[in-house]
Structures are given as structure tokens and as C-alpha cells.
């Protein structure tokens, strides 16, 4: 069954999703920049920041038709990070990263249905090491608490011990400060199509991730 090949890829697609298309901000009480210790103020990002970690809850729904039946795979990937390392430097129009690395530590919950009938549910641990990576990109400030970069200033994991640079994909960030910590938040809903000569797969992806930085 095709599901056995798709399940390992779902976690990676959730991790990669935030850098595939330009971000559409999702506004809500937690993402409007008016929380933390800098309510409504202009957040100053200029300078050097140390990477302090990331958390995310990403959901993915994959659908394809096989043997006349609609197959649907719903997954929720929830993870935090350990052993973060590296730096982020902001100038007035450039973002530069050096040695960004962390261990992804999380869990993926998956439900598989065929014709609306649940045929499998499972929970898997996800532990992926992201090797150190460097990057640089231009950015513009959209408002006092948001920006858009020309491309992600990171490499993203494609499996244990591997990474891939993503270019020509704009990425947006919401900003907030809490004490001495800068948080960059990514919220996105998007879709991708995985080409297949027999059964192409459509994936709907919801990304909710936040990265922490300290001086």
C-alpha cells in the first residue's frame, strides 16, 4: 500500500512546509504582536542573536485516489528542540545566520482512512538532527512587528543528518519580545501536490512554528 511510503514523508513535509511558499499571516490574539513585554511597540531586531530553540505544531492532510477509493492521511507533528546552536544577525536590510543547528524531538500522530473508514491510527516518535547551516537574505519590515525575507536564511532537514537549502521562496515572520528574548513566529496554511504518474497526492499543510533568540 502506498501509505507505507507516504508516512515517513509526512513529518518531513510538515517541517519543510513553512519555506515552500510566501507566507500568509494568520492574525489572532497570539500572533498580532500585541503580547509579551512589548505591546504594540516597534521591535528592534538589529544586532546579533543566539538561537535558543524552536517549537511547532504542524498538521498535514494528504489525499489521493487508489483503486477507486479516496485515501486520506491526517497527521499532526508536534515537536520541540534540544541542543540549539548558531547565531542570527540583523542589519537594517539583511539577515545572516551562522551554524544554525538543533535536534528535533517530537511525536507524529497519524490517522489513515479509505472511503471514510479508519483503517489505521498510529503514533511515532520523531527525532531528527539538523546539521549546522549558514545563510543570508535581504528583508523588509512590513510593520513594527513583522517582516518579509527574500528567502529562508536556513537549511531545512530532509532526514537524519541531512539538510537542503531552499531558495527563491519568500518567508514572513511576526515578531514579539518577552524580557530579553526575541520570538519570530511563522503561521501558514498552504497546499502542495506530490507528482505521481498513477496517483498524484494533494497535501494541505498548516504550520504554526516559533523560533526563539537571545542576545
Q: Summarize pLDDT for 158-201 with one digit per residue, the tens.
A: 333 334 344 456 778 899 999 999 999 877 677 777 777 777 88
pLDDT at position 172 is 82
pTM for this predicted structure: 0.71
pLDDT values of the chain reduced to their tens digit, one per residue, 215 residues: 555 555 555 555 555 443 333 333 344 434 443 344 444 468 999 999 999 999 988 888 888 888 888 889 888 888 899 999 999 999 999 999 999 999 989 888 889 999 999 999 999 898 888 888 888 889 999 999 999 888 767 654 433 333 434 445 677 889 999 999 999 987 767 777 777 777 788 877 777 889 999 99
CB 152 within 8 A of CB 7: no
Amino acid at each position: 500500500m502506498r501509505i507505507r511510503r507516504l508516512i515517513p514523508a509526512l513529518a518531513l513535509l510538515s517541517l519543510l512546509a513553512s519555506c515552500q511558499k510566501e507566507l500568509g499571516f494568520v492574525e489572532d490574539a497570539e500572533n498580532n504582536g500585541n503580547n509579551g513585554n512589548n505591546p504594540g511597540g516597534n521591535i528592534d531586531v538589529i544586532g546579533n542573536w543566539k538561537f535558543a530553540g524552536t517549537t511547532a505544531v504542524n498538521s498535514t492532510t494528504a489525499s489521493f485516489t487508489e483503486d477507486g477509493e479516496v485515501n486520506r492521511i491526517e497527521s499532526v507533528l508536534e515537536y520541540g528542540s534540544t541542543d540549539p546552536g548558531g547565531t542570527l544577525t540583523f542589519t537594517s536590510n539583511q539577515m545572516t545566520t551562522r551554524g544554525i543547528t538543533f535536534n528535533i524531538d517530537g511525536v507524529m500522530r497519524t490517522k489513515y482512512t479509505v472511503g471514510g473508514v479508519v483503517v489505521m491510527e498510529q503514533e511515532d516518535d520523531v527525532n531528527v538532527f539538523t546539521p549546522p547551516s549558514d545563510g543570508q537574505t535581504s528583508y523588509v519590515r512590513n510593520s513594527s512587528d513583522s517582516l518579509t525575507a527574500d528567502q529562508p536564511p536556513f537549511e531545512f532537514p530532509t532526514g537524519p543528518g541531512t539538510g537542503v537549502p531552499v531558495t527563491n521562496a519568500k518567508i514572513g515572520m511576526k515578531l514579539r519580545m518577552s524580557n530579553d528574548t526575541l520570538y519570530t513566529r511563522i503561521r501558514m496554511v498552504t497546499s502542495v501536490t506530490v507528482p505521481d504518474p498513477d496517483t498524484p497526492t494533494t497535501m494541505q499543510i498548516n504550520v504554526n512554528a516559533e523560533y526563539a533568540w537571545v542576545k
